[in-house]
Each structure stands twice: as structure tokens, then as C-alpha cells.
């Protein structure tokens, strides 16, 4: 009797295993691509190999995701140092373009992407080992427009000496895009690399990055949050943000100041959506004011020539002729000074920087 019972259990287990294996095979076969990972590459030969290695340490079947490397006309040896990874994996494709910037690189990657979801890591950052499967599973089962995860910041030395990273306890909150915008979006942390985007949501909403400017994450992220219907805010570490190898003040110049003006102007256009409730419009105004204040702070520290500053102020007024902040005394006073006496406003900011 015991032998019969044992045999029946073994038969049941074998049958379950066969069904599971068939289901897994069908899952792979019926989903040509669940995830597209788009990686722009420009002058990152020191970091790009580690970035790609981290992507392939996610314990994901290579049949269900693709990696799109966009060579943005890199002038260093970035593409050469990753040849060993490219030849090793069959799910990597490459787009070569002249140097048009990360926004165009991402747009070209999005145009080629086949995945149900999109991830856009920066090429000098890392994915935390085995962090993606949990997020991708939540994305596929929920069909959420956005899945926003957590990240940690580390220096090069900290990353070089890294052993393990304790993962967070998984917590999932379902929110509307506007609730996510009100409760979770820090205007100084508009990082697209911490989010899984549903590709059909991006396509249907006609969401693309503003071409050929830096700081393109700011208008893109704001528009995504405001247009998304169903979102997941997940307490789960996805990225290691590499800090300290660039200084915003050291690298900030006239060209970047002009791009920042365009970024602020593109975000300002979202005010034209009259369907947004007052509380959302108020936060949008506050977020744009935060970007505006950051621009002026960077100009105080980096743009020394008064004629150059005049050019930036003129550009900003031309891009946003109705620029006026009204939430509180500080914003109203700033708006009046900027619109009627920008040089005086700049002098005040220099004193109280």
C-alpha cells in the first residue's frame, strides 16, 4: 500500500512538473518580448561594461527581454569595451547614430523596442542583482502604466568595494498617476531609470523625450505621471545611482543653461491641461518653480558674464512669455522681480545664495 501511495505521489509530482515546464515554455514562446532595456552610450567607457553586466545578473530568461544599445556617436572606446558582452548574448541589438544626445537616443530606442515594458537605465549606473524579476512580474500581472521603484546612491569607491546590498521588504501601493505625482514625485529626482513604463501607454499617450536637450527627464516624467491611469509604487531597490564622478556646477555652462530653459518651458506647457484639478496644478507650479530656482542657483555659481545671463533671461521669457509663480509670497515676489527687473533679481540671488 505504501509503495502504491508513493508511486501515485511520484506520478502526480511528475505530472505537475510537466505541466509547469510546459506552462513556462508557453509563457516564453507566447511573449516574444516582455521587457526592452534601452541603454544610450556616449563616452562612458569606464562604466558601461559594469552597467551591462548588471543587466545580465537579473536571473531573467534571455528569451523574454531585449537590450537595445544606442551608440550616440561615442568618441571614446565605450563600444569596444563591451564587445565581449555583445557577442555573448543573442538578445542585444545596436543602434548607431551621430551624437544627438540622450533624448534622441532614447526616442530611437523606443521606436525599435518590442517589449511590453520599457526600462531606461543610465549607462554609468547599475541595476541591483536580481531586482528586476519581482518588478517585471508585478508589471505583467497588473498591466500598470508605471512601476516606480527605489534606488540607492553610491560613490565609485563604494561600488568598487561592494559585497551585498540588503534588499527592502517588498511593499506595493497601487495609485493613480495624479496621486503618484502628488505624493511621490520629487521635482529634483525626475529619474526615468527607476521606472518601468508600459510601452503601449507611452505610444498611446504620444510620450517622447524633447529632442536634443539635457534635463529632458523633467518634462517627460511630469507628463508621464499626469497622464498615467494605473501605477504601482513599489518599495524595492532597483538601481545604484553613481554619484560624485560629475559636478553640476563644474560642468554647467551656457549650452546647458539654454537646455534647462527649454526643459522648464516644456514642463510649463502642462499647465495648459484644464482637466487637471487645482491641487495638481498647484504642485505642478511648485515643481516648475523648483526647477526655475535651480537654474538661477546654477547661473549664480557658474555663469559669470552678465551678457550671457541676459541671453538666458531673454530665452526664458521668450520660451515662457506668461511665466508667473503665484503660490505664496516668495513665488510672487520672485515673479515680479524676474519679469520687471531681472538684473536686480539676480543680484538679490547672489547675496542670498
pLDDT digits 0-9 by tens, 154-202? 999 999 998 889 999 999 999 999 999 999 999 999 999 999 999 999 9
Condensed to tens digits (0 to 9), the pLDDT of residues 86-110 reads 999 999 999 999 999 999 999 999 9
Mean pLDDT of the chain: 89
Q: How far is CA 77 from CA 83, 99, 319, in A?
A: 10, 15, 38
Q: How does pLDDT run across 4-23, given as a tens digit for each residue?
A: 433 434 433 343 333 333 33
Q: How would residue 353 be classed by pLDDT, with cut points 50, 70 and 90?
A: low
b/e per residue 144-166 (b: at least 16 CB within 10 A): bbbbbbbbeebeeeeeeeeeeee
SS3 at position 146: strand
Confidence (pTM): 0.87
Label residue 130 by pLDDT band (50, 70, 90).
Answer: very high
Which H helix or E strand runs over 301? helix 278-302
pLDDT over 90 percentage in the chain:
79
pLDDT at 346 over 60: yes
97: closest CA among 69, 72, 123, 68? 72
Give me the pLDDT at residue 234, please. Answer: 98
Please report the pLDDT score of residue 245 as a whole number.
62
The reported pLDDT for the residue numbered 29 is 35
DSSP letter at 236 equals E
Question: What local confidence, expressed as pLDDT, does residue 169 receive?
Answer: 95
pLDDT at 27 over 50: no
Give the single-character DSSP code of 74.
-
What are the strands, taking DSSP E only, across the chain?
35-41, 65-72, 92-97, 117-119, 126-127, 146-154, 171-175, 195-198, 231-242
Q: What's the maximum distance between 2 C-alpha atoms anywhere in the chain?
A: 96
Give CA–CA dist 97/197, Å, rounded: 24
Contact 179, 142 (CB under 8 A): no
Residue 119 has pLDDT above 60, yes or no: yes
Nearest to 190 by CA among 242, 160, 225: 225
| 246 vs 142, residue with greater confidence | 142
pLDDT at 274: 85
The predicted structure's pLDDT at residue 343: 82
pLDDT given at position 212: 83
Q: What is the mean pLDDT of residues 53-71?
A: 97
pLDDT at 304: 86
Q: What percent of the chain has pLDDT over 70?
A: 89
Q: Model confidence at 347, in pLDDT bands (50, 70, 90)?
A: confident
The pLDDT value given to residue 351? 78
Q: Does the structure show a pLDDT above 70 at 137?
A: yes
DSSP 20: H
Q: In whole angstroms, what is the distance from residue 199 CA to residue 207 CA?
A: 10
| DSSP three-state, residue 326 | coil
Please report, for the chain, the start and end positions of each structural domain, with discontinuous segments joined by +: 32-242, 248-351
Instruction: Calculate the alpha carbon distances from 187 to 219, 239, 294, 301 in Å.
Output: 10, 19, 10, 21
Q: Is 244 left (phi over 0), alpha (psi -120 to 50) or beta?
A: left
- CATH number listed for the domain at residues 32-242: 3.90.550.10
pLDDT band at 246; cut points 50, 70, 90: low
Amino acid at each position: 500500500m505504501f509503495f502504491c501511495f508513493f508511486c501515485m505521489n511520484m506520478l502526480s509530482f511528475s505530472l505537475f512538473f510537466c505541466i509547469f515546464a510546459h506552462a513556462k515554455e508557453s509563457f516564453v514562446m507566447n511573449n516574444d518580448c516582455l521587457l526592452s532595456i534601452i541603454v544610450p552610450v556616449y563616452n562612458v567607457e569606464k562604466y558601461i561594461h559594469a552597467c551591462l553586466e548588471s543587466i545580465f545578473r537579473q536571473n531573467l530568461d534571455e528569451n523574454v527581454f531585449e537590450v537595445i544599445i544606442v551608440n550616440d556617436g561615442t568618441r571614446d572606446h565605450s563600444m569596444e569595451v563591451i564587445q565581449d558582452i555583445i557577442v555573448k548574448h543573442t538578445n542585444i541589438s545596436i543602434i548607431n547614430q551621430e551624437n544627438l544626445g540622450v533624448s534622441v537616443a532614447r526616442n530611437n530606442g523606443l521606436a525599435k523596442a518590442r517589449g511590453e515594458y520599457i526600462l531606461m537605465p543610465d549607462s554609468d549606473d547599475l541595476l541591483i542583482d536580481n531586482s528586476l524579476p519581482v518588478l517585471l512580474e508585478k508589471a505583467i500581472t497588473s498591466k500598470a502604466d508605471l512601476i516606480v521603484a527605489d534606488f540607492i546612491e553610491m560613490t565609485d569607491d563604494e561600488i568598487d568595494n561592494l559585497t551585498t546590498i540588503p534588499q527592502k521588504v517588498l511593499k506595493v501601493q497601487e495609485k493613480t498617476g495624479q496621486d503618484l505625482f502628488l505624493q511621490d514625485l520629487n521635482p529634483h529626482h525626475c529619474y526615468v531609470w527607476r521606472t518601468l513604463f508600459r510601452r503601449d501607454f507611452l505610444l498611446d499617450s504620444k510620450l517622447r523625450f524633447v529632442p536634443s536637450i539635457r534635463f529632458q527627464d523633467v518634462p517627460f516624467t511630469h507628463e508621464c505621471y499626469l497622464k498615467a491611469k494605473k501605477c504601482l509604487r513599489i518599495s524595492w531597490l532597483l538601481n545604484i545611482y553613481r554619484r560624485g564622478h560629475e559636478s553640476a556646477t563644474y560642468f554647467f555652462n551656457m549650452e546647458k543653461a539654454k537646455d534647462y530653459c527649454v526643459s522648464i518651458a516644456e514642463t510649463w506647457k502642462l499647465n495648459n491641461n484644464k482637466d487637471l484639478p487645482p491641487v495638481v496644478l498647484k504642485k505642478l507650479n511648485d515643481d516648475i518653480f523648483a526647477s526655475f530656482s535651480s537654474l538661477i542657483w546654477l547661473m549664480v555659481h557658474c555663469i559669470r558674464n552678465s551678457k550671457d545671463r541676459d541671453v538666458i533671461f531673454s530665452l526664458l521669457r521668450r520660451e515662457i512669455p506668461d511665466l508667473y509663480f503665484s503660490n505664496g509670497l516668495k513665488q510672487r515676489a520672485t515673479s515680479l522681480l524676474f519679469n520687471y527687473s531681472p538684473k536686480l533679481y539676480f543680484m538679490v540671488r547672489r547675496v542670498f545664495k
